[in-house]
């Protein structure tokens, strides 16, 4: 465990950097903090009390503080207000906002999280069930921006064994067993069923995740090698067109799904599009930005063909769209 974390910090040049650890006090983060202390990392612990379980949540925050005090680790905590929705999505957003604030507050070079091998399998499976592409199959990234995850190749069983062997007493969050939360349902119900088919299903899913990561790297390298891809858009295969549209959606921060990508593919052949097909993509972008992020599916072609005018100035396309009228048509 110690060698794994030490090698990870060396790999990313983090040994002498200022680190923050997202510290819930649970098995994973307590294991990682103990390991980081033992190898001499410059780490502080940050804890966000989601305040979902009242006194139990407060007691866990105090336990985190005591653990850090015993190891002379700087500890910082905040508590969420009642206005934050008690949902997985809202909790995740609040956590990462907290992490970003803390990174600035402490001048940290990196924020470490204690996601493990099993967490990655659960994440990939969750995405498959909800709907994803090959990019989503990559699972949890080892490094993303300022976030680093040293335990992704360590199983939950190994983490629990380390805690027992080192006499650690992690917090046991009672909400982790509540199957109304989808990830808990996957962990408690779905994965055990899949293990009846393949006892090493977590290993199989992680293997798929790695293959998907390599394949996506190859795709990105290929896309980067294309000369003027938007200018040659109509010459490409549907598969390549689809990937380019996906790339533009993600780069511009536009919500997308398979249906939306297919609509843009369809619109790229409409009579109002220029030779590159880029107009259709920009139309979708304009719709998203001017209608409170809502992407209209029903009647989109009708609205586009009746309400937009497209002109090309040099290489820049200017689109005029009467969104209010579009909404009226789409509501007919």
With left for phi above 0 and alpha for psi between -120 and 50, is residue 173 left, alpha or beta? beta
Residue 254 has pLDDT above 90, yes or no: no
Query: Which is more confident, 143 or 320?
Result: 143
Give pLDDT tens digits for 173-218.
Answer: 777 777 888 889 999 999 999 999 999 999 999 999 999 999 999 9
CATH class belonging to 2-194 = alpha beta
More confident residue, 298 or 175: 175
**Range name among 77-91, 151-165, 257-271 with the lowest pLDDT average:** 257-271
Q: How confident is the model at residue 148, as a pLDDT?
A: 98
Distance CA 280, CA 249 (A): 12
Per-residue model confidence as pLDDT tens digits over 116-125? 999 999 999 9
Whether the full predicted model's pTM is greater than 0.85, yes or no, is no
Q: 105 CB contacts (<8 Å, ≥6 apart)?
A: 76
Strand partners, 317: 312
The ranges assigned to domains in the chain are 2-194, 227-331
| Tokens at 135, concatenated | 């990019």
Q: What are phi and psi of 311, to 5 degrees?
A: -130, 150
Backbone angles phi, psi at 212, to 5 degrees: -65, -40
Model pLDDT for residues 74-95, shown as the tens digit of each residue = 999 998 887 777 777 888 888 9
pLDDT of residue 196: 97
């Amino acid at each position: 465990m110690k060698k794994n974390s030490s090698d990870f910090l060396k790999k990313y040049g983090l040994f002498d950097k200022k680190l923050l650890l997202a510290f819930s006090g649970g098995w994973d983060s307590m294991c990682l903090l103990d390991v980081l202390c033992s190898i001499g990392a410059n780490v502080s612990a940050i804890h966000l009390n989601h305040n979902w379980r009242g006194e139990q949540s407060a007691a866990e925050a105090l336990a985190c503080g005591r653990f850090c005090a015993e190891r002379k680790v700087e500890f910082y905590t905040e508590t969420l207000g009642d206005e934050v929705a008690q949902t997985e999505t809202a909790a995740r957003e609040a956590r990462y906002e907290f992490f970003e604030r803390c990174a600035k507050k402490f001048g940290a070079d990196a924020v470490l999280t204690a996601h493990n091998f099993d967490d990655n399998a659960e994440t990939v499976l969750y995405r498959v069930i909800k709907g994803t592409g090959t990019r989503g199959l990559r699972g949890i990234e080892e490094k993303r921006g300022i976030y680093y995850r040293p335990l992704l190749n360590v199983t939950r069983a190994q983490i629990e064994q380390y805690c027992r062997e080192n006499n650690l007493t992690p917090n046991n969050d009672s909400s982790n067993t509540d199957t109304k939360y989808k990830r808990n349902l996957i962990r408690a119900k779905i994965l055990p069923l899949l293990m009846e088919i393949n006892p090493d299903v977590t290993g199989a899913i992680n293997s798929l995740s790695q293959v998907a990561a390599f394949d996506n790297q190859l795709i990105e390298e290929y896309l980067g090698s294309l000369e003027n891809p938007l200018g040659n858009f109509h010459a490409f295969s549907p598969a390549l067109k689809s990937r380019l549209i996906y790339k533009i959606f993600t780069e511009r921060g536009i919500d997308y799904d398979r249906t939306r990508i297919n609509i843009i593919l369809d619109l790229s052949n409409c009579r109002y599009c220029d030779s590159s097909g880029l107009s259709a993509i920009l139309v979708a972008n304009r719709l998203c930005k001017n209608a409170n992020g809502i992407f209209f599916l029903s009647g989109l072609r009708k609205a586009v063909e009746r309400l937009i005018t497209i002109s090309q100035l040099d290489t820049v396309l200017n689109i005029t769209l009467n969104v209010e009228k579009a909404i009226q048509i789409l509501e007919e």
